[in-house]
């Protein structure tokens, strides 16, 4: 299983707009991705309700994971998106 630990770069955390950006990117990755708080069980990263339900705050560490064969590059892109707190989806997602 591939895994990335990253601190959330959005000051408001994964709420509303940042969560929407993240969920769209996770869905666009084309692979199943899980997201979890550092000490919790993973939820489906492509589910807006599941991501919002985590209650992730800005600066908090999250874990992105996937069992897909080609997960490394997708997780790298998602980790960068989360860490940098980008306001829009990058062209490469």
In a domain, 75, yes or no: yes
Query: pLDDT tens digits, residue range 20-78?
Result: 999 999 999 999 999 999 989 999 999 999 999 999 999 999 999 999 998 999 999 99
User: Domain count of the chain?
Assistant: 1
Q: For position 66, which CATH number holds? A: 3.30.1340.10
Specify whether 15 is catalytic.
Answer: yes
Average the pLDDT over 3-15 and give the result.
Answer: 95
Identify the domain containing residue 51 by its residue range. 2-84
In a domain, 92, yes or no: no
In a domain, 71, yes or no: yes
In a domain, 78, yes or no: yes
In a domain, 38, yes or no: yes
In a domain, 73, yes or no: yes
pLDDT of residue 91: 58
- What three-state secondary structure class fits 18? helix
- pTM value? 0.91
Catalytic residue among 15, 24, 37, 80: 15
Q: Which burial class, exposed, middle or buried, applies to 24 when counting CB atoms under 10 A from its CB (0-12, 13-18, 19+)? A: middle
């Amino acid at each position: 299983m591939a895994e990335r630990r990253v601190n959330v770069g959005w000051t408001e955390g994964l709420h509303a707009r940042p969560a929407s950006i993240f969920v769209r990117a996770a869905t666009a990755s084309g692979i199943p991705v899980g997201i979890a708080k550092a000490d919790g069980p993973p939820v489906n990263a492509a589910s807006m309700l599941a991501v919002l339900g985590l209650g992730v705050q800005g600066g908090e560490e999250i874990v992105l994971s996937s069992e897909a064969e080609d997960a490394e590059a997708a997780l790298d892109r998602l980790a960068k998106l989360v860490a940098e707190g980008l306001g829009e989806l990058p062209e490469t997602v």
